[in-house]
Structure 1
Amino acid sequence: MGIKQVPYPRGQLLEEVMNQYGNDVLYLAFSYVKNYEMAEDLAQDVFIRFYEKIDTFRGEASYRTWLYRITVNRCKDYLRSWNYNKTFLNDKIVDFVKGNASSPEQIVVSNDENEELTMHVLSLPVKYREVIYLYYFQEMSLQELSDCLIINISTVKTRLTRAKELLREKYPEGVLLDGE
């Protein structure tokens, strides 16, 4: 398949993609680096790369999947970098899961539980954290995960199963994923 023709001016496409996927890219980057300011920098870099490389987009995947692939690659590059190895990660976690509580007491309890779950997810090795995050928080299908991470769909399923097992070990009260 050849290079896909961009439907309208690159700047307009960039603005549309940023509006639609900006927060998702930011949260995905944060799930890797666990530092909000660095995640913002990485997200900005992802959109710069998207803009620079849009003419090479072949249309074999959606813009969403392509952006997530760029984000994953950029985060992995950062995690291998000298800068990361010399930086102390100390920022608070972003609340990915919103509670459905109604009273102030329920909200506090729900936020504590969500933060605990988020901490457990972020403590997983990257290969498990990324599948949990993309599957549950970004609601990507198994096929989209496979495309985004460039791994076999059976590997995605295995990593997802193993990640849930690791979460169950770390979260003795039980993790409610997929209504389990």
Structure 2
Amino acid sequence: MRKVKNEDRLKERDAWLETIMDEYGERLTKLAYNYVKDWSVAEDIVQDVFITCFKHYEKIEEIISFKAWIYRLVINQSKDVLKSSAFKRVVMNSSLFSLFTSKDPLPEISLLKRSEEEILSRCVLALPVKYREVITLYYYEDCSIDEINGLLGLNRNTIKTRLNRGRAKLRKMMERWEHDGE
């Protein structure tokens, strides 16, 4: 009887993990990507976060807001990766890095730049982290100021200021991009 109950709990935990992976997987990967700017590293971060969720399944009832908790895990993990010297060496020594820093865009990249969404995405990724994270959470993840406060531990006024400054920087970058692109 006890063995059946444990098997049921394992099946329940597996189903729960699959559900949160389906529900949050893509959004969390995009969130991590906004920090690390490398899709495969972002996927690794989210994989690690799901492993943490799996390990904490028994304590999940104690978590007040699961969404805030899992986003916080991704943000912290992303920041940890950015701080790691191994990540800095790989990105800075990568041949891809030289493509992104090159003054002359490749023809394929020039074609992609014409899309407004692509331009906006590039501009958001070019923002400093402190503006990029609030812009991403507010506009892409539909988090309220209060939710962002809970996720980042920032004062509400600081969040509003960063949103305003981030929007202003985006506006300037978009205007510059349109001017240079035409």
TM-score range, shorter chain: 0.7 to 0.9
**TM-score, normalisation: structure 1:** 0.76
Which structure 1 residue ranges, 4+ long, deviate > 4 Å from structure 2? 108-111
Percent identity over the alignment? Answer: 37
Looking at structure 2, the residues matched to 145 and 159 of structure 1 have their Cα atoms a distance apart, in angstroms, of 12
- Residue 34 of structure 2 is matched in structure 1 by 31
* Cα deviation 1:125-157 (Å, max 9, x = unaligned): 111101111111111111111111122222211
Matched, 1:46 2:49: yes
* Cα deviation 1:89-123 (Å, max 9, x = unaligned): 6389xxxxxxxxxxxxxxx8996211111111001
Native 8 Å contact 2:82 2:88 kept in 1: yes
Could you tell me which of 134, 139, 149 is aligned with 1:136? 139
In the TM superposition, residue 45 of structure 1 has moved relative to its aligned partner by 0.8
- Residue 63 of structure 2 is matched in structure 1 by 59
Looking at structure 1, the residues matched to 113 and 88 of structure 2 have their Cα atoms a distance apart, in angstroms, of 34
Mapping of 1:168-179 within 5 angstroms? 168-172=171-175
Looking at structure 2, the residues matched to 170 and 43 of structure 1 have their Cα atoms a distance apart, in angstroms, of 30
Higher helix fraction (1 or 2): 2
Matched, 1:72 2:75: yes
Could you tell me which of 11, 14, 18 is aligned with 2:14? 11
- Larger CA Rg, structure 1 vs 2: 2
- Residue 154 of structure 2 is matched in structure 1 by 151
Deviates more, 1:10-19 or 1:130-139: 10-19
Looking at structure 2, the residues matched to 153 and 9 of structure 1 have their Cα atoms a distance apart, in angstroms, of 38
Looking at structure 2, the residues matched to 110 and 78 of structure 1 have their Cα atoms a distance apart, in angstroms, of 28
CA-based RMSD: 2.7
List runs of 5+ in structure 2 lacking aligned partners: 1-8, 100-110, 178-182
> Aligned AA for 1:67?
I
Mapping of 1:97-112 within 5 angstroms? 112=115
Looking at structure 2, the residues matched to 45 and 146 of structure 1 have their Cα atoms a distance apart, in angstroms, of 24
Native 8 Å contact 2:112 2:118 kept in 1: no
Looking at structure 2, the residues matched to 55 and 124 of structure 1 have their Cα atoms a distance apart, in angstroms, of 39
Q: How many residues align?
A: 154
